[in-house]
Amino acid sequence: MTSTDVSRAGADPVAAETAPDAARLVRFRLLRRLGRSKLAMVSLVVLATLIAAAVLAPLITPYPPEKQIIADRLQGPSGSHWLGTDAIGRDILSRLIFGLRVSLLAGFQATAVSALLGIPIGLISGYTTRLVDGFVNTVAEALMAIPPLLLALSILGIRGPGLTNAMLAIGVILAPRFYKVARASARSVREETYIEASRSIGCSTPRILWRHVLPNISGPLLVQTSFVIGLAIVAEASLSFIGLGVQDPTPSLGSMVHDASRFMRQESFGIWPPSVAIVVIVSALSILGDAIRDALGRD
Amino acid sequence: MEGSALANAVEADEAVLAVENLSVDVKSDRRTLSIVRDVSFTVGRGETVGLVGESGCGKTMTSLAIMQLLPRQARIAQGSVRLGGQDLTSLPRRTLEDIRGQEIAMIFQDAMRSLNPAFTVGDQIGDVMRRHKGLRRAAARKRAIELLDYVGIPRAAQRIDDYPHMFSGGMAQRVMIASAISCEPKVLIADEPTTALDVTIQSQVLRLLRRFQLELGLGLVFITHDLGVVAEVCDRVAVMYAGQIVEQGEVVELFERPQHPYTAGLLGLLPLEGRKSADLVPIPGTVPMPSEWPAGCRFAPRCPHVEEGRCAAGPVPLEQLRVGRTVRCVRHEELALEGVAR
Amino acid sequence: MPTLFLVTVITFLLAALVPGDPARIIAGEFATDEAVEQVRETLGLNDPWIERFGDYLGSILHGDLGTSVSVQTGRPVADLVMSAVGVTASVTVLALLLGLIGGLPIGFAAALRPNGVVDRVVNGLAALAMAVPQFVTALVLVLFFSINLGWLPAIGYSPPSRGLWEWLSHLILAALSLALIPMAEIARQTRGALIDALEKDYVRMATSSGLRRRRVIVKYALKNAAIPIATVFGLQVARVFGGSAVIEFIFALPGLGSLTIRSVLVRDVPVIQAVALVGAAAVVIVHLVLDISYRYFDPRLRSASSVGGAR
């Protein structure tokens, strides 16, 4: 927990009010420590490259992703098509880069949804009285008891397929992760003296949550975020694979795997580029998450 | 090879345990540190030898080294541990497994943590006996009840099926002792067995240990930081500081005429009758970490009798004053240190 | 138990999220307003919420999970669920078993020599395995075992009545795809928990009494390591159950998962509700069983433990 510098502010309310700056100092030290792990640095570079590719997609793809050249369908890698073509003659490399863009975007948006859902509820739950917390927690536990993908499917079933609904559904099923972290941290921070000090000089609860609790738990939240983005990307890929996420002709890593799998017997190469892309992204995010957790732990 | 075994041994050939020039190294952050250096002492049959020092002086590591139970990062750099003629440091693991429990046993400071919470005490004590004596389950259980009774646990026949968390600290300590002596070892190492207990319970446990010694002829190595306990229980004592033995001898003699300033300092802290708390002057400074140990006398930075030139010059050898009496101090002949009468 | 109750509340509320008018959807696009109102009355949609929930709860307790509206119109949902549950249960149980059989020994081996070769390889592979989505694993397995080697069938289901090997051969690839991630998680947790247990004081005490190393590890350390391992196992149950949806889709297995997907595609709300309920119920039951097992592993958790005489 990154509460070291902040808690030293002790019972001095003035110091307590300026505590978030101390949190920033901690973050700087964190970045330095992160730099020492070679694996983490490699992951960061890989992720940055992929994000850059996704952002620059329209500029760097050799072919438009929707362009079909039926004559060239289902070819393996070649000079003109580095990763081959799919069943209706579209260039896989171009679709991959655009698919990357869609999947990354979907992952970030779903993560944002889950954070917006999970963090505030978790903070409030952890900070308020046992009674309210107990109630909220039981509801959360009930939600978490439903197998995640089933819940997502249920939500899609109710609201209809499509990328937006898929991201909403994924956001909901991943929210408990943020909820748990926010709640646990809020619970522990609640007892700290500087919180009492702030309360004593008349700080309102939302302000306390915003200025003191939140910066303090930014570390564990950052760790979770890294993992959650990975999970969101996998979830989106799974849903798109079934056909309930993105709709044709928009490429997504998941739907690309699906398209390729239908012709696996004739040309199996097509399933590899998007699959490898998913594995690489998720691995990089996990490694990063672990590295951040380690770097924080040594505080 | 300084301070050879002969200098320390009281009854070298009859000793049940003879530790000779034991040194332990530890790997930490890619460095190798020596945390125990040249420790030698012997334990005779029915004799209690105390190993005394503040925390961090290496006494626990020494005891673990004797049992060949050092943690992964530590290893015995040199020296020997002779138990009834055999050198434990050179034995294979399977032979050690036969010897531990049966010839030599150990009890630890926190009894509650040393007993497995998932199994009954009867099961755990029984395990040891089934292992070494080949007893069947029923016989082992019967014997375990006898042992519990022996160590003074009331209603032993019912308590045998209780889990460790159902015992109080003092009772758990007794259970641990029962387990350790169940196979009647020749040597028992007790690492701060009473430190975590109330004073009244403390004396009960000490009396228990003394009783076993007499009845079983047990050689006892008693590790503690409390000289008061040493006075109560030990026949001989070795004082350790910063990984080395700085003084060794019979308890009465050492207490009355200490030869090393550290010993005198420790004695000065005993809350004896007639001493007011204002008289108790703590030894200035703090125990140094192994990485900070000076090349010369390791106690010099805190010693009230230090003489810069002589004390910090180089490593101080262990001198033998007579059989069984040693001291590691260049100035010991000049100093007339104050002791206490038993 | 309160969890289960809340789950029913949640599944009930799911129906409330349906955009549009359910009565109109059922009555059809061309129905007249009176016809829609008629449907509304029949479905009890005009009743107050509490009453509707009460009805819902009551019918569930009687085993009536509603009637399918689009997947198989008119057929009781309970029927659909029952015929599908067996398949899903087979795949799920098989997958979890494989996860345990694979994960426990691997984690065990890694823990015996921390930071040794085995340990680092295991850690690396486990981390990689957790990044591979289950459908990718499934496709790779199908590609390899079914298309290239032709050993196992790629799709379809064969009930056990038609031969045990047939039944198993259709399930094994599916189960393996689902099992990879739990296997990795269990291996990791086993390694961690065992290493922790081996560093404990009671293991040191047991070793100092001369017990054989194997006995110390198997008897003393393992039981204490069991709880964190069981916890992680419990988490995997929900994951596997959910993941089976996609896997059943790929392998064309007529289980709860493919039922769900079909009903999602046609917006069959009662079926969706029922599946969510059943899934959650299964998870809750597993957690309950795990809770009981905790008490076996750690006697300190048994509530009746008062301290005996000598406190």
For residue A35, which of A252, A262, A288, A285 has the smallest C-alpha distance?
A: A288
Q: If you measure CA to CA, which chain C residue comes closest to A288?
A: C127
Residue A114 has which token pair?
């889950």
pLDDT of residue A284: 92
Residue predicted with more confidence, C77 or A93: A93
Distance between alpha carbon C127 and the CA centroid of its chain, in Å? 21
| B to A contact (≥3 Cβ pairs closer than 8 Å) | no
Low-confidence winner among A185-194, A284-293, B134-143, C86-95 (lowest mean pLDDT):
A185-194
- CA C141-C142-C147 angle, 5° bins: 125
pLDDT in tens, C160-190: 777 777 788 888 888 999 999 999 999 999 9
Q: How far is CA C251 from CA A148, A236, A244, C158, C247, in A?
A: 20, 20, 17, 12, 6
C297 CB-near residues (< 8 Å, 6+ apart): B118, C223, C224, C226, C227, C230
Q: Which residues of chain B neighbour C210 with C-beta distances below 8 Å?
A: 96-102, 128, 131-132
Which pLDDT score, from 0 to 100, does residue C72 have?
66
How far is the C-alpha of A96 from the C-alpha of A252, rounded, in Å?
8
Query: From the CB of residue C179, how many other CB atoms can be counted at a distance below 10 Å?
Result: 27
Domains and CATH numbers, chain B: 5-103+188-327 (3.40.50.300), 112-184 (no CATH)
Question: Measured at the alpha carbon of residue C75, what is the angle toward residues C69 and C76, in degrees to the nearest 5?
Answer: 95
**pLDDT tops 50 at residue C235:** yes
Q: Which amino acid is located at A252 in the chain?
A: S
A267, closest residue in chain C (CA to CA): C143
Beta bridge partners of C138: none
Burial readout B241-261 (b: 16 or more C-beta within 10 A, e: otherwise)? bbbbbbbbbebebbbeebbbb
Q: Which pairing describes strands B219-224 and B319-322: parallel, antiparallel, or unpaired?
A: unpaired
Q: Is C246 on the interface with A (CB under 8 A)?
A: yes
**What's the rounded Cα separation, in Å, for the pair B285 and B1?**
31
Statement: residue A218 has pLDDT above 60: yes
The whole-angstrom distance between C126's CA and the closest CA on chain A is: 11
Do at least 3 CB pairs under 8 Å connect C with A? yes
Please report the pLDDT score of residue C32 as a whole number.
72
How many angstroms separate the first and last alpha carbons of chain C?
36
pLDDT digits (tens, 9 = 90+) for A24-54: 666 666 677 767 778 888 888 899 998 888 8
> Closest residue of C to B96, CA-based?
C210
- Quickly tell me which residue has 């099923």 as its tokens: A173
| pLDDT surpassing 60 at residue A22 | no
pLDDT of residue A2: 39
Task: Please judge whether A261 and C2 are an interchain contact, meaning their C-beta atoms are less than 8 angstroms apart.
Answer: no
In angstroms, the separation between the Cα of residue B130 and the nearest Cα of chain C is: 10
What are C118-135's pLDDT values in tens digits? 888 888 888 888 889 999
> CB–CB of C14 and A154 under 8 A?
yes
- In this predicted structure, the answer to whether residue A244 has a pLDDT above a threshold of 90 is no
Confidence of residue A3 (pLDDT cuts 50, 70, 90): very low
Under an 8 A CB cutoff, do A238 and C143 touch?
Answer: no
Separation of CA B312 from chain center: 29
- Answer yes or no: do C209 and B155 touch at CB < 8 A: no
Q: Which residues of C touch B162 (CB under 8 A)?
A: 308
pLDDT at C70 over 80: no
- Say if residues A6 and A194 touch (Cβ distance below 8 Å): yes
Q: How many residues does chain A have?
A: 299
Using the structure block, give the residue that is written with the tokens 């003489």: B307
- Is a pLDDT exceeding 50 seen at residue C308? no
Task: For residue B7, give both structure tokens.
Answer: 């200098």
Q: How confident is the model at residue C306 (pLDDT cuts 50, 70, 90)?
A: very low
How far, rounded to the nearest angstrom, does the alpha carbon of residue B131 sit from its chain's CA centroid?
A: 26
Asked if the model's pLDDT at residue A110 lies above 90, the reply is yes
Q: Do B158 and C299 touch (CB under 8 A)?
A: no
Q: Which of A150, A159, A278 sits opposite C242 (nearest CB)?
A: A150
Q: For A162-193, what is each residue's pLDDT tens digit?
A: 788 889 889 998 998 899 888 888 877 777 76
pLDDT at C183: 94
Give pLDDT, residue B4: 42
Q: Which residues of B touch C223 (CB under 8 A)?
A: 116, 118-119
**What pLDDT is recorded for position A193?**
61
Mean pLDDT of chain A: 79
Instruction: State the average pLDDT for chain B.
Output: 86
Contact C210 B131 (CB under 8 A): yes
Q: What percent of chain C has pLDDT over 70?
A: 81
CA R_g for chain A: 23
CB A241 within 8 A of CB A255: yes
Closest in B105, B118, B127 to C297, CB measured: B118
Cβ-based neighbour number of residue A185 at 10 Å: 25
Verify whether the Cβ–Cβ distance B97 to C211 is below 8 Å: yes
pLDDT band per the 50, 70, 90 thresholds, residue A21: low
Average pLDDT over every residue of A202-208 = 69
Hey, what are A14's tokens?
């003035």
Separation of CA B230 from chain center: 11
- The helix or strand, by DSSP H or E, that contains position A284, with its residue range, turns out to be helix A272-297
Distance, in Å, from the CA atom of A125 to the CA atom of B178, rounded to the nearest integer, reads 49
pLDDT for C151: 76
User: With contact defined as beta carbons under 8 Å apart, do B115 and C205 qualify?
Assistant: yes
CB atoms within 10 A of CB A32: 9
Of B124, B121, B154, nearest in space to C309 by CA: B154
Of A142, A159, A265, the CB nearest to C17: A159
Point out the residue among C204, C220, C300 whose CB comes nearest to the CB of B69.
C204
Return the number of other C-beta atoms located less than 10 Å from residue C87's C-beta. 23
Residues 257-286 of chain C whose Cβ lies under 8 A from any Cβ of chain A? 257, 260-261, 263-265, 267-269, 272-273, 275-276, 279-280, 283-284
Take residue A295 and report the two structure tokens written for it. 């770097």
Q: Look at residue B76 in the predicted model and tell me its pLDDT.
A: 92
DSSP B275-319: --GGG--PPSS-PPPGGG--SS-TTGGG-TT--HHHHSSSPPPPE
Answer yes or no: are the C-beta atoms of C301 and B145 closer than 8 Å: no
Long-range contacts of the stretch C48-52 (C-beta < 8 A, 24+)? C52/C12
Cβ atoms of B25 and B32 within 8 Å: the answer is yes
**Contact assignment for C130 to A158 by CB distance below 8 Å:** no
pLDDT band at A5 (very low <50, low <70, confident <90, very high): very low
Report the pLDDT value the prediction gives residue C180, as an integer from 0 to 100: 93
> Which member of B110, B114, B165 has the closest CB to residue C305?
B165
Mean pLDDT to the nearest integer, C75-91: 82
Q: How confident is the model at residue C24 (pLDDT cuts 50, 70, 90)?
A: low
Task: Give the per-residue pLDDT at B142.
Answer: 92
C133-147 pLDDT tens trace? 999 999 988 888 877
Q: Is A295 exposed, middle or buried (0-12, 13-18, 19+ CB in 10 A)?
A: buried
Residue C121: CB atoms within 10 A of its CB come to 12
Give me the residues of C, 222-251, that contact B with CB < 8 A. 223-224
Q: How much is the pLDDT for C130?
A: 87
C-alpha separations of A111 from A176, A226, B285, B289 in Å: 11, 9, 55, 48
Return the closest-CA partner of residue B116 out of B152, B160, B165: B165
Residues of C in contact with A154 (CB under 8 A): 11, 14, 260, 264, 272-273, 275-276
Residue C5 backbone phi and psi in degrees, to 5: -60, -45
- Judge whether B216 and B250 are in contact, CB under 8 Å: no
How much is the pLDDT for B123?
92
Residue C311: pLDDT over 90: no
| Residue A157 to residue C264, Cβ atoms within 8 A | yes
A105 phi-psi bin (left φ>0, alpha ψ -120 to 50, beta other): alpha
B86-87: strand order across its sheet? B31-43, B17-28, B74-83, B86-87
Query: Going by DSSP bridges, is the β-strand pair B31-43/B187-191 parallel, antiparallel, or unpaired?
Result: unpaired
Token readout for B61 is: 């590591």
Residue pLDDT tens, chain B, 342 long = 334 443 344 555 678 899 999 999 998 878 888 999 999 999 988 899 999 988 888 899 999 999 999 988 899 999 999 998 889 999 998 999 999 989 999 999 889 999 999 899 999 999 999 999 888 889 999 999 999 998 889 998 999 999 999 998 889 999 999 999 999 999 999 999 888 888 888 888 888 888 888 888 889 999 998 888 898 889 999 999 999 999 999 999 999 889 898 998 888 888 777 777 776 777 888 888 888 888 888 888 888 888 878 888 888 888 888 888 899 988 888 887 878 875
